[in-house]
Amino acid sequence: MASTPVQNPPTVDLVIPVYNEEEAIAVFHRRLSAVIDPLPYSFHILYVNDGSKDATAERLAEIAAADRRVTVIELSRNFGHQAALTAGLDHSRADFVISLDGDGEHPPELIPQMLNLALQGYEVVLTQRVEAQQAGWFKRWTSDAFYRWLNRLSNTRILPGSGDFRLLSRRAANALGQMREYQRFLRGMVAWMGFQTVILPYTPAQRIAGRSKYSLRKMLKLAADAIFSFSLAPLFLGISLGGVFLLLALMEMIYVLSFWLTGRQDTLAPGWSSLMFVLLVVGGVLMITLGIIGVYVGFIFQEVKHRPIYFVRRILSSKEDSTRHDG
């Protein structure tokens, strides 16, 4: 297997997006340090503060002051988990870059195994949540249904139960960095890229503190980003629905014509209800199709603006070579 050449010791960037994690972040950092301290790699930790409204910025500044490996990238506002991850990835330069959540749901204890796999030559190490005991049945059910349908609708196969806890080689990270679309669904984008990939299963841990920041609205937005930016199937759905209803209309015409041809037209009930039915059906199909096209046009509109995915407010680093991350 051809692997990316690495430095000795290999450098590793850890990208951790955080949003309102004032209670969890210090505990998380201690847990992370306990895992990485004994490892024979040169680690750099990039915390991306995604416009937190609580005291996360102060906690991160304290962590950065005490730990020379830490850099804090503060975004100008809350851009969302996927944009924050992108900011961190953009600022990473190491041989390997690992992204994980700052709330303890992604066990840092997996990092040594991920790095072992990377050293064997895998360019992408995906982790897979195997049993989500803590997640409620609703989240589990919606997540299962989501992956089943997404994989049915698009050609890009996305691993069910895979989150944004993964390792990328420099080559894979650079490739991902070239993908600048605004509607971002990193799991799908990483699957789309290809590269030698391996899957590492794990059992999820409970959040250290705080609540999930993915409200139902945010989850639906992520699902829409995933479906509409990874598949043209909804467009075809509109077209097929239209086709089915046109066929129904044709059959009805033949049926009515048969009454006329056999001279039984007077036995036909007044056509108001059937006309109304057809009108409503056709109107419905048109509206669905237009709606689907509308969503795509909206997405195109967002993309053609070519806006940056995030803005950095400032970068805090106790390292002398802080320029390294001024991308």
Q: Footprint of ligand UDP on this chain (CB under 6 A)?
A: 17-19, 21, 50, 78, 80-81, 84, 101-103, 105, 212-214
CB of 177 to ligand UDP, least distance (A): 18
For the chain, report the end-to-end CA distance as a whole number of angstroms.
Answer: 31
Question: Is 315 exposed, middle or buried (CB count within 10 Å of its CB: 0-12, 13-18, 19+)?
Answer: middle
CB of 293 to ligand UDP, least distance (A): 29
Residue 95 or 103 with smaller CB distance to ligand UDP: 103
Q: Which amino acid is at 263?
A: G
CB of 100 to ligand UDP, least distance (A): 8
Residue 17 or 188 with smaller CB distance to ligand UDP: 17
| 3-state SS, residue 248 | helix
Residue 209 or 288 with smaller CB distance to ligand UDP: 209
CB of 89 to ligand UDP, least distance (A): 13
Residue 237 per-residue DSSP state: H
Residue 170 or 187 with smaller CB distance to ligand UDP: 187
CB of 224 to ligand UDP, least distance (A): 16
CB of 250 to ligand UDP, least distance (A): 48
CB of 226 to ligand UDP, least distance (A): 14
Residue 25 or 292 with smaller CB distance to ligand UDP: 25
CA 103/CA 106 separation, integer angstroms: 8
Residue 54 or 252 with smaller CB distance to ligand UDP: 54
What angle, 0 to 180 degrees and rounded to 10, lies between the N-to-C axes of helices 25-36 and 56-66? 30
Residue 43 or 79 with smaller CB distance to ligand UDP: 79
CA 143/CA 130 separation, integer angstroms: 13
| 3-state SS, residue 231 | coil
CA 184 to chain centroid, in Å, comes to 6
Residue 205 per-residue DSSP state: P
The structure tokens 């036995």 sit at: 267
CB of 221 to ligand UDP, least distance (A): 11
C-alpha torsion 99→105→107→108, nearest 10 = 50
Residue 10 or 80 with smaller CB distance to ligand UDP: 80
CA 298/CA 173 separation, integer angstroms: 28
Q: Which amino acid is at 57?
A: A
> Which H/E stretch holds residue 83?
helix 81-90
CA 110/CA 186 separation, integer angstroms: 20
